[in-house]
A = this chain, B = another copy of it.
């Protein structure tokens, strides 16, 4: 029967509603302020309904995290596509990362905040979207290709990049109102510095 499809679509829709409701609350009140009952209120249901779609809160949060990584991956890929030289690509990718952190603060905090998923993300990365870490690793490898880098070498540099930028993001998310000029200086200093060191 076609009514099955309709119902399936409705279920799909409320599942989506749960996610967007959670996202809104996380955005407005922070992830600490997110509760199952608040989500239920927002989608005009009662709390247990959510467990029909997600096995628990952690599961729901994981889905949001996945969404976040997908978005970040997309923006970093686009940034990469705007350049030819690996050095420029890397710079653009980390700049995209930087912007993502503030444009989608709520996502970033979920992805790298409280329950730091950091780089590894347990769960299917999906068929089409590449993990940001892999994305960067590719370009680093390209940049170092005449040096025959080991996986460890590439890891080292990826971690160096990520450390600086995540550290900077952390400061700015907590202690906002820092001078943009200062931020920009530290950021570009760090990025170009590392790139220079890699290819030196």
* A residues adjacent to B (C-beta < 8 A): 112, 114, 116-120, 152, 155-156, 159-160, 162-168, 170-171, 173-175, 179, 182, 185-186, 189-190, 193, 197
Contact = CB atoms under 8 A, between A and B. Distances in A.
A182 B155 contact: yes
22 contacts: A112-B170, A116-B173, A116-B174, A118-B174, A119-B171, A119-B175, A120-B175, A152-B179, A152-B182, A156-B185, A156-B189, A159-B171, A159-B186, A160-B164, A163-B163, A163-B164, A163-B167, A163-B171, A163-B186, A166-B167, A170-B170, A189-B197
A159 B117 CA distance: 23
Contacts of A166: 163, 166-167, 170
The secondary structure that dominates the A interface is helix
Contacts of A193: 193, 197
A162 B167 contact: yes
A119 B120 CA distance: 27
Most buried by B among A167, A170, A179, A189: A167
A197 B164 CA distance: 15
B170 A186 contact: no
Nearest to A155: B182
Contacts of A155: 182
Contacts of A179: 152
